[in-house]
Amino acid sequence: MKIGVDLDGVIFDTEKLYRIYAELYEVVELKKNTIIDNRNDRFQTRYNWSDEETKQFVKKYHDDTIKNANFMTGAKTVLKMLKEEGHELVIITQRGYDEKKYIQITKEIFKENDFEIFDKYYWGIVDKEKVCTEEKIDLMIDDYIENCKKISNAGIKTIYLKDAPSYEIDDTKYLKTLYNWGEIYRYINQELIK
Ligand SMILES: [Mg+2]
């Protein structure tokens, strides 16, 4: 099976670390409480910050988040198992869209962690549905609900990895919400491969 895998919030625990930093930034530094809706994926719509406050947050925490976020629990174990079982693994990520330097940083993190197991990499991708279609991906794993909706609506099996107080969405023939890498492994082996 050809499996497409997102990076942030799927392989790296960046989304959670970014959420934690955003909370601390608002409470400790801004000394405010401007939460709009905690289920919003993007901090820009989660808080009511000024442009300057947003800019300062990104400047202070974005680099740190990319460099220091842990791997998602179970991601390395399960992806290595899937690779050994013969699946083709393709990274499809938006990372590298704004800043190209994050591509090299990520490659180094993979190298340091003995995790250079991917067959192909698509960096800086905004339209993931297009890449999934062209690459003939059998299953895409992403944590961003809008990507999941779009990819599954194109008739591609999609796992919505939900690891935050994000919005819920009903499962469909092509869309499945799961909560950790153990569930992903079970789903692939007991539901998709018969
Ligand atoms: Mg993501």
> For the chain, what are the domain ranges?
2-13+70-192, 14-68
Å from CA of 6 to ligand 1 middle:
6
Q: What is the DSSP letter of 165?
A: S
- Torsion-angle region of 16 (φ positive above 0: left; ψ -120 to 50: alpha; else: beta): alpha
Assess contact for 179 and 187: CB atoms under 8 A: no
Cα-to-centroid distance, 71 and ligand 1 (Å): 13
Q: What is the pTM (predicted TM-score) of this model?
A: 0.96
Q: How many A from CA of 9 to the centre of ligand 1?
A: 5
Q: How far is the CA of 12 from the centre of ligand 1 (A)?
A: 9
Give me ligand 1 centre to Cα 86, in Å: 24
Smallest Cα–Cα separation from 79: which of 91, 67, 97? 91
Q: How far is the CA of 191 from the centre of ligand 1 (A)?
A: 24
Q: Look up the CATH superfamily of 2-13+70-192.
A: HAD superfamily/HAD-like (3.40.50.1000)
- % of the chain with per-residue pLDDT over 70: 99
Residue among 9, 12, 35 at smallest CA distance from 22: 35
Predicted local confidence at residue 148, as pLDDT: 98
Q: How far apart are the first and last CA of the chain?
A: 12
Averaged pLDDT of the chain: 97
Average pLDDT of the residues in 69-78: 98
CA R_g for the chain? 17
Q: In 2-156, at which residue ranges do the beta strands (DSSP E only) sit?
A: 2-5, 88-92, 120-122, 139-142
What is the rounded average pLDDT of the residues 55-71?
A: 96
CA dist 171 and 165 (Å) reads 17
Kindly tell me if the per-residue pLDDT of 155 is higher than 90.
yes
Cβ-based burial of 21 (10 A; exposed 0-12, middle 13-18, buried ≥19): middle
Distance from Cα 25 to the centre of ligand 1, integer Å: 22
Is 194's pLDDT higher than 80? no
Confidence band (pLDDT; 50, 70, 90) for 193? confident
Per-residue pLDDT of 181-192, as tens digits, reads 999 999 999 999
% of the chain surpassing 90 pLDDT: 97
Instruction: Report the pLDDT averaged over residues 39-51.
Output: 94
* 30 CB-contact burial (10 Å; exposed 0-12 / middle 13-18 / buried 19+): middle
- Residue 92 clears pLDDT 80, i.e. is over it: yes
Measured distance CA(91)–CA(185) in Å, rounded: 17
Give me the mean pLDDT over the 135-142 stretch.
98
Burial (CB < 10 A; 0-12, 13-18, 19+), residue 100, is exposed
